[in-house]
A and B are shown apart, each in its own frame.
Chain A
Amino acid sequence: MSESITAPALAKLVGEWLAAGTRVAAPVSVNGKLFYRAISAAAEIHWNGGRPANSIKEFILPRHERLFSFRRNGHGVELEEGRPDVRDAVILAARPCQAAALPVLDHVFNWDYRDEWYNLRRERTVVVTLACRAFDEACFCTTVGGGPASSAGSDAMLFELGDGGFQVRAFTGRGRALFAGRTQVSKRDAPVPEGPPQRFDAAAIPDFNSPAWAERSLACLGCGACSYNCPTCHCFDIVDEGGAARGVRVKNWDACQFPLFTLARFGAQPARHAGRAAAAADLAQVPDLPQKFGPLLCTGCGNCARLCPVGLGVPEMLA
């Protein structure tokens, strides 16, 4: 016995969320490429497999955010605090490997400093994943402890029944509330999907100080496509834009693959080496990080491998 929802009922439900002002993000096909995007109608959702090129983190950790603006006023400075774009949100049909990154980010943004805006958005976002029925050659969730129906970070998960409908499994109160009264009892259980094969041994990742990293990362162009589309990478940079008289302080995504990452004015760059090694090992072997944020930060989504223009990526680096 399980609960299920038909495709028309789900579309109607999505329409109701949108009508209520809830932001709904889901896989959308744009010129033949898939992306997680905010939608304005249920019909925009691309249900038919494939992996969006970006990650869902941008709905909770925006790529650009204005913290405050400043203006010099005589001998003083006027400050105007930024207003975060916070509202109820549902992330729908995300891959389980995307949701699995959220508990990691929660640790990061609540470790020594509670990031108010991150938490505001996170608290109002419900994550509904779609169990994977297929995997591609870049997928490696099973290698890092996940799986095609892994519930980490999901409030509810949908399983395709094959007739357009979905079996619904709720894992949290928020997930249950979202579908309450909308499902019907079903005798059918969706088949348990099969995951990708093991791609490397996650326990045998070279040590953080190993010279292997420099050699393996020689081909890296430093474009940052891996980091920006990684569901777990979370580095940001806070910079002032404008001039001395007036400007804004903004928080932008940053990536350890960029040559200027953590470069200080006096010339030191403490995280340069860390960056190369960290991205390669996805922070698994960086001292302190696993203890603080989770045993292995990588969720095996494979975006790094799919997007790298020179054929690097976590599995390629570690295989």
Chain B
Amino acid sequence: MADKNRPVVIDTSATLKGNFAWHITRAFHLAGRCVQCGECSRACPAGIKLGLLNKTLARAADQCFGYRAGMDPENRR
């Protein structure tokens, strides 16, 4: 869904609706993948701590599936 841009699924407007839709979609895509390097927070020109969203979903992945992204050297997927 996030890759389909015609028609526009997520508003490009920098409004509560547009920003919320984009960031929630992004965070969902990173659940179970984000290794929490923190680069998103460091790179954000607006000083938004984006990593907090990822952290929340990482916790959910851990609680629901006992999975922590990037922590198992045997798991190369």
Q: List A residues at the B interface (Cβ < 8 Å).
A: 30-33, 35, 53-54, 63-64, 223, 225, 228-229, 237, 239, 241, 250, 252-253, 260, 265, 307, 309
Contacts and interface: CB of A to CB of B under 8 A. Distances in A.
B45 A237 contact: no
A239 B8 contact: yes
Nearest to A241: B11
A306 to B, nearest CB: 9
Given A260-B5, A265-B6, A309-B39, A250 B47 contact: no
A35 B47 CA distance: 10
B43 A253 contact: no
A64 B13 contact: yes
Contact of B45 (A228, A239, A260): A228
B47 A239 contact: no
Contact of A309 (B8, B15, B18, B43): B43
B52 to A, nearest CB: 13
B12 interface: yes
Interface SS, A side: mixed
B71 interface: no
The size class of the interface chain B forms with chain A is 10 to 19
Interface in B14-73: 14-15, 18, 39, 42-43, 45-47
Nearest to A254: B12
Nearest to A250: B13
Given A64-B13, A225-B43, 17 more contacts: A31-B47, A32-B47, A35-B46, A53-B47, A54-B45, A54-B46, A64-B15, A225-B45, A228-B45, A229-B45, A237-B12, A239-B12, A241-B8, A241-B13, A252-B13, A265-B6, A307-B45
B6 A252 contact: no
A113 to B, nearest CB: 22
A231 B55 CA distance: 34
B12 A223 contact: no
A249 to B, nearest CB: 11
Contact of B12 (A30, A35, A228, A252): A252
Contacts of B5: 260
Contacts of B15: 64
A256 B8 CA distance: 18
Contacts of A265: 6
A313 B47 CA distance: 19
Contact of A53 (B8, B12, B39, B46): B46
Contacts of A53: 45-47
Nearest to A223: B43
Contacts of A237: 12
Nearest to A248: B13
B47 A252 contact: no
Nearest to B5: A260
A64 B43 contact: no
Nearest to B13: A64
Given A241-B8, A309-B39, A30 B13 contact: no
